[in-house]
Structure 1
Amino acid sequence: MTIDATDRKILAALQSDAALSLADLGKQVGLSTTPCWRRIQRLEQEGYIRKRVVLLDRARLNVDVTVFVAVRTSNHSAEWLEKFRNVVAGIPEVVDLYRLSGEIDYLLRVVIPDIKAYDAFYRKLIERIELQDVSSMFAMEEMKSTTEIPLSYAVSS
């Protein structure tokens, strides 16, 4: 499974605007609609495109505070990890969860409206699973945030 330059153009265009009409997308990448549609179908079937989503305005939806929550645990069993994963999956304020190397075990990105909401999130988290240490870092300014990934590393055919 490799992609070519035209596939990269399709992926770049869809990352920028997934609502593009098939005709407009085809024009951008130099294909008629049917071959363009077939390529999109193949890219989806091969897993290059996981899903198409709409990005919402967090400020308009009153969740414009971003908190990075660093979690350390003394329990590293598979059972604990599965429980932690399930607990976090059930908390909608958590939009990203990463398992890390180093001194911090997990990093969560949480979106909330204010400190009171963060306190409610924190209480919910610690009620559902035992943690060794939790520290929070409130983002003061979002300087770059994108869902677009670099395509220059994709394997070419």
Structure 2
Amino acid sequence: MIDQTDKRLLAELQANAQLTAQELSERLNLSASQIGRRRQRLEAEGLIRGYGAKLDPARLDLNVQAFVQVQMTTHGAESTRQFSRLVSMQPEIVSAWTLTGEADYLLRVYCPDLAALNRLIHQILLAHPIVARVQSQIVMDQFKPDAPLPI
């Protein structure tokens, strides 16, 4: 059970996970020790899954972002395991979702160039026997960056 103070703490941490307990205590009007205890509890309960830096893909020469929809030839537990293994071995695929509708999976991909995206689609994804169809959409511009969760 989280209260409004927990929600405010989570919102502050989503905006800037590097805030110290002292800085958070000033923003939330609690003592630093109270902030520390709340933060530890939220971590232990799994509401906070981790902390990370937001990197600039362009500065890392990851110039092509795409969303790739994948349809499978067969469905079932073994197909899911095989596809999950395939996806987990590709560092270009930064996130993956199962879907309802025509596509079975949606993959978010970052590649250095179109040739690398082409290789991923044709030599990795379409080459796998359980993949029936792949459709990609190349991101032209991301006008709204990945936002914090609406808590």
- TM-score, normalised to structure 2's length? 0.94
- 1:96-111 counterparts in 2 under 5 A? 96-111=95-110
- 1:1-157 counterparts in 2 under 5 A? 2-122=1-121, 123-151=123-151
The answer to whether the 8 A contact 1:71-1:133 is kept is yes
Structure 1 segments of 4+ aligned residues over 6 angstroms from their partners: none
Gaps of 5+ in 2: none
For the residue of structure 2 that corresponds to 1:103, the secondary structure is coil
May I ask how many residue pairs the two structures share in their alignment? 150
C-alpha spacing 1:72/1:128, structure 2 compared with 1 (3 Å)? closer
Report which stretch shifted further, 50-59 or 124-133.
124-133
- Give the structure 2 partner of residue 155 of structure 1: none
In 2: Cα distance, 1:111 partner to 1:63 partner: 6
Identity %: 39
How big is the alpha-carbon RMSD for the aligned residues of Structure 1 and Structure 2?
1.2
The answer to whether the 8 A contact 2:69-2:107 is kept is yes
Higher relative contact order (CA 8 A, sep 6+): 1
Gaps of 5+ in 1: 152-157
Deviation at 1:145, TM superposition (A): 2.4
- TM-score, normalised to structure 1's length? 0.91
Report which stretch shifted further, 8-17 or 56-65.
56-65
